Amino acid sequence: MKNKKNSRQGLTLKQKEAVTGYIFIALPLVSLIIMMYYPIIRSFFISFFDWNLLQEPTFTGIENYKTLFHDEVFRTSLVNTIKWVLIYVPMSVVSSFLLALLLDRKLKGAGFFRTLYYLPVVCPIVVVALLFVWIYNTDYGILNFLLKNLFGIEPVGWITDSRFSLFSIAVMSVWKWAGYNMLIFLSALQGIDENLYEAAAIDGITPWTKLIKIKIPLVMPSIYFVMLTAVIDAFQMFTEIFIMTKGGPGYSTYTVSYYLWSNAFEYSKMGYACAMAAVMFVIIMTVTLVQNRIMNKKVQYDA
């Protein structure tokens, strides 16, 4: 209690402040180390072992990585992830951006529509996946019925035909996440300085030029953000696959996360799964860094 009286002298107060600071962050820091940093290191460590949990782990060096390099299923999972990104990202970015453009104006009921569009985002992914399994059902699904009766299209095995399965899950994801991305674009659009529009109006530019020259460039950081998130999520996609296809038909919807999970928890190949996690870690970090680079270089909007 004397410290308080001597607080003018500074030193004790400063030390006291530091101690308080460490006490405040102590548990989160311990948790961070045990739950994040220690597992990261241990994961790399385990990846050099052959370990099925029943026997003692045996050191195999880079054997797991060698196997991984020649593993057809892993390659398919990677290709699927890339395919997914190529299908999902354009659909998602374009549709969410159009939605944001629609709602970026004075509109009666804008709040209502925003809320409505956001509803799928808060839905548990399990619920959404089960719902679309029913909608996509080949024989009794409402989608095939509508397509047949409106356009005369023969029934399609949306998630049972390997040609469509990835695409169908992507469509579902666009439906689920459009509201989220829309809100991000919307807040970017609403952050645009009104003066820019006024200046543009004086110059007499068309709405099209306004879109191309003002809106899109200024929303670019958000577009990069949405794309980066989509790429990272693609590697981590698990629940949709688990509920809807279990990776099938064939290996057509295997994602890296799903293959990793099945190696670790179905086949108990812990070392192999950790090697996969390491590769994934490197890929995601590379994507993040590259995209940050592009963003810092290309996106200049503070002019």
Partner 1 sequence: MSKKKMKALFVYMGVGIVAILVILPFAWMLVSAFKSQRELFAYPPTFFPTEWKIENFIEAASRGSISFWQMFLNTMKIAVPSTVFNIIFSSLAGYAFARLRFPFRDTIFMCFIAAMMVPFAITLIPRFLLFKDLGFYDTYVPLIIPIMFGTPFSIFLTRQFFMTLPKELEEAAIVDGCSHVRIWAQIFMPLCKPIIATLSVFQFQSSYNDFMGPVIYIASDVKFTVQMGLSSFRNSFTSRYDLIMAGSILALIPVVILFICCQKYIVRGIAMSGLKG
The residues in 265-284 that bind partner 1, with binding defined as CB under 8 A, are: 265, 270, 273-274, 276-278, 280-281, 284
- Is 242 a binder of partner 1 (CB under 8 A)? yes
Pick out residues in 146-175 that bind partner 1 (CB under 8 A): 149, 175
SS3 label, residue 49: strand
Of 115, 163, 293, 301, the residue at the interface with partner 1 (CB under 8 A) is 115
- Is 303 a binder of partner 1 (CB under 8 A)? no
Distance, in Å, from the CA atom of 209 to the CA atom of 157, rounded to the nearest integer, reads 42
- Output the CA angle 254-260-261, nearest 5 degrees: 95
Distance, in Å, from the CA atom of 189 to the CA atom of 214, rounded to the nearest integer, reads 10
CA distances from 154 to 143, 144, 172, 211, 216 (A): 11, 8, 21, 40, 39
Closest distance of CB 64 from partner 1, Å: 13
Pick from 92, 245, 259: nearest CA to 170: 92
User: Which of 61, 207 has the CB closer to partner 1?
Assistant: 207
- Is 261 a binder of partner 1 (CB under 8 A)? yes
- Is 125 a binder of partner 1 (CB under 8 A)? yes
- Is 2 a binder of partner 1 (CB under 8 A)? no
SS3 label, residue 27: helix
Stretch that binds partner 1, among 60-68, 79-87, 209-217, 253-261 (CB under 8 A): 253-261
What DSSP element (H or E) covers 103? helix 72-103
Pick out residues in 52-91 that bind partner 1 (CB under 8 A): none
DSSP state of 154: P
User: Which of 31, 209 has the CB closer to partner 1?
Assistant: 31
- Is 235 a binder of partner 1 (CB under 8 A)? yes
Which pair of tokens denotes residue 128?
């959404």
Number of other CB atoms surrounding residue 32 within 10 Å: 12
- Is 177 a binder of partner 1 (CB under 8 A)? no
Taking residues 33 to 52 in sequence order and writing x for each that binds partner 1 by CB under 8 A, - otherwise, the string is -xxxxxxx-xx--x------
Pick out residues in 204-223 that bind partner 1 (CB under 8 A): 221-222
